[in-house]
Amino acid sequence: MKLLEQKILREGNVLSETVIKVDSFLNHQIDPVLMREIGAEFTDRFAGRGITKILTLESSGIAPATMTGLAMGVPVIFARKRKSLTLHDNLYTAEVHSFTKKETNEISVSKDYLSNEDTILIMDDFLANGQAVSGLMDIADQAGAKLGGVGIVIEKGFQDGGKLLRKQGIQVESLATIASLSDKQITFHKERAL
Ligand code: 5GP
């Protein structure tokens, strides 16, 4: 998605060879117009997949997931990283090792909002090694929900997550795929032919 790649080039902050921050439009401040475009793009890419719900992870997945939910006309659930005081039992849980924070979190979703009648689109802001998506897949699996696909705003193609998921036959759609962050330079994989 050209608009997103341009934004990443202009505003992305390369922290290391493997980590980029996009605090000005996705990870801290949110650009609602860009999020609306992102929502429309995912809606196109997953048309016909019968998505009934979007499942993401707090916090940076929420904005793009919500705009996609709005465009698709389906609800959005975000897995919590900490158990809330009002959420005790009745939870699906999974372990997720955070690539950026180097810690393992238990993520949870209330059993009230996922069922075996759902076809889930899993979404996140970044895809690196695929830990976050795998945790969300685990939760969808516990609910007996079908996986309709995985939508990622920014995939880092030099890490293994995308490969691992696509090898399982999962439709993974990334709106920008970074090929390299070497020497503080951001380069992208060519966009897929439309
Ligand atoms: P994975 O679980 O695929 O290894 O990593 C994806 C998760 O880690 C995402 O939820 C995202 O929040 C975070 N993450 C991974 N790499 C980056 C990065 O380069 N920049 C930012 N801002 N977050 C990242």
| 88 vs 34, residue with greater confidence | 34
Query: What is the CA(125)–ligand 1 centre distance, in A?
Result: 7
Q: Where are the domains of the chain?
A: 2-188
Residue given tokens 């992870």 in the structure block = 57
Q: Is the CB of 132 under 6 A from ligand 1?
A: yes
pLDDT of residue 89: 81
Name the β-bridge partners of 126: 154
Ligand 1: residue of 99, 104, 152, 154 to mutate (most ligand atoms within 8 A of CB) is 99
| Average pLDDT of the chain to the nearest whole number | 94
pTM over 0.90: yes
What fold does the segment set 2-188 form as a domain?
Rossmann fold (3.40.50)
pLDDT of residue 99: 83
pLDDT of residue 101: 85
Model confidence at 87: pLDDT above 70: no
Q: How far is Cα 29 from Cα 132, in angstroms, rounded to an integer?
A: 22
Looking at the chain, how many residues does it have? 194
Q: Is the CB of 99 under 6 A from ligand 1?
A: yes
Q: Is the CB of 165 under 6 A from ligand 1?
A: no
Instruction: Give the pLDDT confidence of 47-79 residue by residue, as tens digits.
Output: 999 999 999 999 999 999 999 999 999 999 999
pLDDT of residue 194: 44
